Amino acid sequence: MPEGDSVLRTARSLDRALAGAVLVRAELRWPTVAGADLRGRTVLGTATYGKHLLTRLDDGMTLHTHLRMEGRWSILGPRATGRSPWVRALLGTATRTALGERLGMLDLVPTAEEHALVGHLGPDVLAEAFPSQGLARAVAHLATSTEPIAAALLDQRNQAGLGTIWMAESLFTRRIHPWTPAGAVVDAASLLMTARELMLRSVGTGEPPAHRVHARAGRPCVRCGTVVQVGSAGPAGYERPVFWCPGCQPARTSSPRGDHPPVPRASERSSSAGTVSGIESPSAVATRSLTSRSTIDSGTLNASQIEARSSDEASF
Active site residues: 2-3, 51, 240
d(CA 60, CA 5): 27
Torsion (CA) 210, 215, 218, 224 in degrees, nearest 10: 40
Classify burial at 231, counting beta carbons within 10 Å of its beta carbon; exposed 0-12, middle 13-18, buried 19 or more.
Answer: buried
d(CA 109, CA 63): 7
CB 5 within 8 A of CB 84: no
118: phi then psi, degrees, rounded to nearest 5:
-125, 20
Shortest CA distance to 108 belongs to which of 54, 71, 70?
54
